[in-house]
Amino acid sequence: MIKNIFKPFYDNLNLFLPIKVKKVSLKINNNFFFNKLSFDIDNNSISSFIGPNGAGKTSCIKLLTGLIKPESGEIIFSKNKNFPNLIGYVPQKIILLRRSVEENLLHALSLSNYPSSKRRKRIKEILKFSKLEHLANKSARNLSTGQQQLLSIMRALVSRPAFLFLDEPCANLDLQTTKFIEDILKKASKSGVKIIIVTHDLFQAKRLADEIIFFCNGK
């Protein structure tokens, strides 16, 4: 097993943490969904957002990753906003390129500052660790749901981000695949990756998280 396979490029999280959400307001359909939402996420290894459907978990993840912008307020998790390889993101809906497993990983690396001379080696490491070696040349669209989700997570981790955000990563997966993914997240966390996971599964949150943040009605 490769030691510290997920160690971030920037492994000193004191540069980034705590994440601060300060008086953030978000409108959806001209109505305030978040109204001056404020909280901190500390330097615990894994934090979990839990709550019922529609409570605001996914919207908050999208705010944290910069996919959507707030009406007002600010989100701070880096003194320098230009750090490359900072964030990995796994959305709730699986989105993969119509290419091979290996090419999906290579594309993720091409979007980062990962040294080009080391990319092939990195992909081999990731494929071996995730037990996807035998599927390297197979189209990602022809994988099982569990394999696709695993690839999505490995694609988010391949460039060695400091933060990994996941939205319901184990929804509709069998117990064996869920355990394997949870083990990966634990290993990534021990390697220094700050993980924030959205789940409606309180038992999963208790298994994984050092910190649980509960959402209800946008609060």
Residue 195 reports pLDDT greater than 80: yes
Higher pLDDT, 28 or 189: 189
pLDDT number for residue 139 = 98
Residue 102 reports pLDDT greater than 80: yes
Element (H, E) at 62: helix 57-65
Choose the weakest-confidence range: 2-16, 93-107, 120-134. 2-16
Q: What is the pLDDT of residues 2-47, one digit of tens each?
A: 568 998 876 565 666 678 899 998 988 777 788 888 888 877 689 9
pLDDT number for residue 101 = 98
Tokens of 176: 């064996």
pLDDT number for residue 153 = 98
Residue 115 reports pLDDT greater than 60: yes
pTM of the model: 0.91
Element (H, E) at 155: helix 145-157
Domains of the chain, with CATH numbers? 13-214 (3.40.50.300)
User: What integer is the mean pLDDT of 148-176?
Assistant: 95
109/151 Cα distance (integer angstroms): 14
Q: How large a percentage of the chain has pLDDT more than 90?
A: 59
119/34 Cα distance (integer angstroms): 40
Asked if residue 199 lies in contact with residue 53, where contact means CB atoms within 8 angstroms, the answer is no
Task: Give the Å distances, CA to CA, from 148 to 10, 65, 194, 197.
Answer: 28, 22, 23, 18
Does residue 15 come out as left (phi exceeding 0), alpha (psi in the -120 to 50 range) or beta? alpha
Compute the CA torsion angle 139, 141, 142, 143 (nearest 10 deg). Answer: 100
118/206 Cα distance (integer angstroms): 37
